[in-house]
Amino acid sequence: MGCFGAEGFETPNLDKMAAEGMRFTDFHVSQSVCSPSRAALMTGCYHPRVGISKALFPHVNRGLKPKEETLGTI
**DSSP per position, the chain:** -GGGT--SS--HHHHHHHHTT--------S-SSHHHHHHHHHHSS-HHHHT--S---TT----S-TT---GGG-
Determine the pLDDT at residue 31: 83
The ranges assigned to domains in the chain are 1-26, 31-74
73 has a pLDDT exceeding 90: no
Determine the pLDDT at residue 3: 76
Determine the pLDDT at residue 9: 85
Determine the pLDDT at residue 2: 79
Determine the pLDDT at residue 20: 87
Determine the pLDDT at residue 69: 92
Q: What pLDDT digit, counting tens, does each position of 9-51 carry?
A: 888 988 888 888 877 778 888 788 889 998 998 999 998 999 9
C-alpha count within 13 angstroms, C-beta hemisphere, residue 26: 1
